[in-house]
Amino acid sequence: MNINTIEEARNTIYWSFPKIVEECRAILGSELHYQAVIYHCLRTFGKIPIEQIGMNVKIGISNPVTQLFKDKQFSKAEGYQAGFEPIPDICIFSTELKADWRRRNNENTLKETLYALEIKASERKNNRLTAGEIKNDIDKLQAQFEETFFRYKKEIGKGVLIVDTAPKLEERIKEKALNEVEEYAKLKNVDFWYFSHDKAITNQTKMEFSSILTDFIANQEWTFAKTYAETWPHEYIVQEKVDNKLFINLANHIDKFGYIDKFYQKTVIYFDYNGYTYWHMENIINRCVERDTYHRREIDGRLPNFNKY
């Protein structure tokens, strides 16, 4: 299935994140090695087509407009100041790029980027990750966003993923620095992904439910779907038995801010919140725990032997 929007690109990382954590925790390697592991997970578990995902692609920007890229352009030796080439660790491209992210096609790689992901790892010799170097990557992502919007009036998704699995505490990023870069990512509207051996953080920049809707969800008596207890366990509420206006607002929020995925051959819009995945069908809103969605169960090899839908 092709990736067509920023939200779809972001969700491939979200879906792959448990496997990324599992595989990166199993080894100790270089930052480049972790990049390759994450690329593999995004292809295998995020289902990103090979024609849409690049690694360490040089994205040419001639005559940059952002101050950061201007400064980097003029910091190069005379004769090499024709522009600047940011190199995101992983890029998800639109199908319009036609799987061609060679350097000679670098202007189009900027135009057709859907999502740029920077990866940092705690693999420094006699040192640890610092807030400054991570914030520098966040600034580069923001500059690429602004360069793209200036030229093409389109937005791109941006994220930073930190692999902090060094075995010794003194080799990992300090808690104060971690909090600092997480807040900085929020300020710059950059998705933030982090994990160590005993901790994991996902802080995606998506539109969450309002307090009115979270109260509505919390105060409902969700009915367990007994018919599907052995195949597709989930709960539901019925429009006619709850506040009609709030039901409609919740359904509209799912449609507007959710993501498209498959249930077998059927296309469904889902929204994840607080450990549950929500979707609706006519006068019913359903939810299940996130690990019981079709996508997660397909990845884990836990699909039922037959389909009752």
More confident position, 60 or 28: 28
pLDDT at 307 over 80: no
d(Cα 20, Cα 266) in Å, to the nearest integer?
27
pLDDT at 18: 84
pTM, whole model, 2 decimals?
0.69
Spatial contact of 160 and 121, defined as CB atoms under 8 Å apart? no
The whole-number average pLDDT for the span 92-117 is: 92
**pLDDT tens column, 207-254:** 567 788 899 999 999 999 999 999 999 999 999 999 999 999 999 888
Q: What is the mean pLDDT of residues 55-60?
A: 90
Model confidence at 106, pLDDT cuts 50, 70, 90, reads: confident
pLDDT above 60: residue 308:
no
Distances, alpha carbon 163 to alpha carbons 28, 168, 178, 195, 275, in Å: 10, 14, 12, 6, 23
Tokens of 230: 């052995």
User: Is a pLDDT exceeding 60 seen at residue 79?
Assistant: no
Query: Can you give the pLDDT at residue 309?
Result: 46
Top mean pLDDT of 9-23, 65-79, 158-172, 289-303 is at 158-172
User: What's the rounded Cα separation, in Å, for the pair 195 and 207?
Assistant: 23
What pLDDT score was predicted for residue 104? Answer: 84
Q: Are 154 and 148 in contact (CB under 8 A)?
A: yes
Question: 160-218, pLDDT tens digit by residue?
Answer: 999 999 988 889 999 999 999 999 998 998 999 999 988 888 775 555 677 888 999 99
- Between 296 and 247, where is the model more confident? 247
Between 203 and 63, where is the model more confident?
63
CA–CA distance, 235 with 40 (Å, rounded to integer): 34
pLDDT value at 294 more than 70? yes
